[in-house]
Structures are given as structure tokens and as C-alpha cells.
């Protein structure tokens, strides 16, 4: 069964790629869900529908949770799918977005596939390990924290609203001062894959959903990296990592105490006010 789940995850992540590449940097209508920082396009919805149909055809005993269409089905194999993680980038023409498909059985992530169509990079993982275009990934040899490359979107508007502008910007300053390089490319799923591949040393965020990170967690951990979840006061601290809305993803061998402390500080502060 696990082999079939992984095979389906890989095929599903790749399924909408041709359509999405054709639409990218073309004229498209952009709508917004919660606010102007949460865009959606017809391509998100169409890609999710394609993936959902494939998953139920290949693994009928499934529950499907997509970013756009919510939960469908009640089978023991739970799928968390983001048809376009990084929709803001996709909509404005920045080539840093992906399709993410993760599968969970009995509360454990058993398979994940993340496809970057513009770079033609397929990341996938199962208990057999993590792979990039068929080559095994090993996330190791992290540099000291002061030499690290950090990917983070913190703070976004939501973070400033929840943490307060002064506190959020002070924390951002500490992140900038701690790492050698800080980047804000968008797409949690693809950022975590870059940590798994050793192209970045850490990634962190404080407003993710299960469809953003489920597949990425499998890829990072099977590659030898670490994933530290943060509850942010929105779920129990012992909830499954893919269900927690905050995270710090670390390259193998990274012991980044300052980044971990800042992440815990943000989470604890929100828990106090939740």
C-alpha cells in the first residue's frame, strides 16, 4: 500500500504541471480569500480538482484535504494537498512555487511529493528515504548559525497584527543579525525542500497549514534534517507536527539555538494571548 501511495503522490504532484507552466506569466484573474495577502486563481482550483480526481481513482480509501476545496471522503489515507504553494509568486510571475502532495496514515506522514515545475525538480520521500529527481538527498554538514542562510517570511501582516509591530520588527532584526543571509522567497513547501537539499540551512514560518508542510516534513526528515513545530496557541503542543501552524526546519547537523529560541518566544507569546 505504501508503494502505491508514494507512486500516486508523485504522479499527482506532477499532474497539473503542464497547465500551470502554460498559465504562468500570462494574463490571469486573481481573487482573494481572507485578505489581499491570501490570493487564489482559477488555476489553483482547477489543479486541485485534477489531483483530487486522480487520488480517489488510484487510492479510493482516502480522505482528501485541499487548500481550496476542503475535506472530501472518510478513508484511512489522509491526503494534504496544496495545488500551488506560493500562489502570490505564481500570480505575479516569480518562479518560486510548487505543487505539494502529502499522505498521512494513523497520524504519521508516510509519503510526500513536491514538484517545482519551472525548475523541473521532483522532491519525494517515503520510509525508503528522500530523493530529488531520483537522486538520494542527504541534508548534512550545516554551517555554524552565524554563517547560516535562513529562509523566512516572518513577519507578514498577520504576524505584525498578532505580535505587535514593535515586537515583530525587533524579532526580525534579531533574525537578520543571527544568520549570515536571510531570504524571503515565499512557499513554505519549497523552502523546506531547499533545506532538505542543503541549498539553505534553515527555514521558519508562523502561519502554515497542513497542506503547506505535510509533504515537506517527510522530505526534510528522510533527508536527515529536523523539523521543530510550534503550536502558536492554536493546538496542543503534542499535536502531530504537520498540524501545528509554526515551524523551524533545520539542515542536518544544525544546532541553531538562537533561531529556535526566537521561534519558541513567538509561539509562547501567542499561546499566552490565545
For the segment 208-233, what is each residue's pLDDT rounded down to a tens digit? Answer: 999 999 999 999 999 999 999 999 99
Question: What's the pLDDT at 170?
Answer: 98
Buried b (16+ CB within 10 A) or exposed e, 98-128: bbbbbbbeeeebbbbbbbbbbeebbbbbbee
Parallel/antiparallel/unpaired status of strands 108-116 and 98-105: antiparallel
Q: How many angstroms separate the CA atoms of 238 and 94, rounded?
A: 36
- The share of the chain scoring above pLDDT 90, in percent, equals 86
CATH fold match for the domains 2-136 and 145-272? no
Q: Are 96 and 121 in contact (CB under 8 A)?
A: no
pLDDT mean over 152-159: 95
Query: Quick one: cell of 117?
Result: 515545475
Q: Is the pTM of this model over 0.85?
A: yes
Output the DSSP codes for 140-175: --PPPGGG-EEEE--S-HHHHHHH-HHHHHHHHHHH
CATH code matching the domain that covers 2-136, chosen among 2.40.110.10, 3.40.50.1820, 3.30.40.230, 3.30.540.10: 3.30.540.10
Neighbours of 236 (CB within 10 A): 9
Which residue in 33, 154, 54 sits closest to 99, CA to CA?
54
Sign of CA dihedral 207, 133, 111, 138: negative
- The share of the chain scoring above pLDDT 70, in percent, equals 94
Query: Quick one: cell of 264?
Result: 519558541
DSSP secondary structure code for residue 242 in this structure: G
Using one digit for the tens of pLDDT, what is the confidence trace for 29-57?
Answer: 656 545 554 555 788 888 999 999 999 99
Q: How many angstroms separate the CA atoms of 227 and 188, rounded?
A: 13
Query: Quick one: cell of 74?
Result: 472518510
pLDDT mean over 107-123: 97
Question: What's the pLDDT at 226?
Answer: 98
Question: What's the pLDDT at 37?
Answer: 47
Whether residue 240 is predicted with pLDDT greater than 90 in this model: the reply is yes
Using one digit for the tens of pLDDT, what is the confidence trace for 157-212?
Answer: 999 999 999 999 999 999 999 999 999 999 999 999 999 999 999 999 999 999 99
Domain ranges of the chain: 2-136, 145-272
List the CATH code of the domain at 145-272. Answer: 3.40.190.80
φ and ψ of 264, to 5 deg: -65, -35
Question: What's the pLDDT at 1?
Answer: 76
Query: Quick one: cell of 234?
Result: 492554536
214 SS3 class: helix
Whether residue 106 is predicted with pLDDT greater than 50 in this model: the reply is yes
Q: Are 104 and 201 in contact (CB under 8 A)?
A: no
Whether residue 81 is predicted with pLDDT greater than 50 in this model: the reply is yes
Q: How many angstroms separate the CA atoms of 23 and 40, rounded?
A: 14
Sign of CA dihedral 224, 230, 236, 241: negative
Amino acid at each position: 500500500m505504501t508503494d502505491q501511495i508514494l507512486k500516486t503522490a508523485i504522479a499527482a504532484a506532477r499532474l497539473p504541471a503542464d497547465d500551470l507552466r502554460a498559465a504562468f506569466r500570462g494574463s490571469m484573474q486573481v481573487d482573494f480569500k481572507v485578505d489581499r495577502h491570501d490570493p487564489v486563481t482559477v488555476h489553483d482550483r482547477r489543479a486541485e480538482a485534477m489531483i483530487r480526481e486522480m487520488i480517489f481513482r488510484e487510492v479510493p480509501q482516502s480522505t482528501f484535504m485541499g487548500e481550496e476545496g476542503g475535506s472530501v471522503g472518510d478513508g484511512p489515507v489522509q491526503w494534504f494537498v496544496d495545488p500551488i504553494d506560493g500562489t502570490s509568486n505564481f500570480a505575479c510571475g516569480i518562479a518560486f512555487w510548487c505543487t505539494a502532495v502529502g499522505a498521512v496514515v494513523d497520524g504519521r506522514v508516510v509519503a510526500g511529493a513536491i514538484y517545482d515545475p519551472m525548475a523541473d525538480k521532483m522532491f519525494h520521500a517515503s520510509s525508503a528515504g528522500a530523493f530529488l529527481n531520483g537522486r538520494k538527498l542527504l541534508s548534512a554538514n550545516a554551517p555554524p548559525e552565524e554563517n547560516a542562510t535562513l529562509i523566512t517570511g516572518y513577519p507578514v501582516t498577520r504576524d505584525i497584527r498578532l505580535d505587535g509591530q514593535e515586537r515583530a520588527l525587533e524579532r526580525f532584526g534579531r533574525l537578520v543579525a543571527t544568520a549570515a543571509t536571510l531570504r524571503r522567497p515565499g512557499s513554505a513547501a519549497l523552502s523546506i525542500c531547499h533545506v532538505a537539499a542543503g541549498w539553505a540551512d534553515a527555514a521558519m514560518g508562523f502561519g502554515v497549514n497542513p497542506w503547506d508542510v505535510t509533504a515537506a516534513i517527510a522530505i526534510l526528515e528522510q533527508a536527515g534534517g529536523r523539523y521543530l513545530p510550534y503550536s502558536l496557541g492554536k493546538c496542543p503542543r503534542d499535536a502531530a507536527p504537520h498540524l501545528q501552524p509554526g515551524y523551524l526546519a533545520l539542515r542536518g547537523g544544525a544546532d541553531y539555538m538562537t533561531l529556535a529560541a526566537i521561534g519558541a518566544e513567538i509561539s509562547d507569546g501567542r499561546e499566552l494571548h490565545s
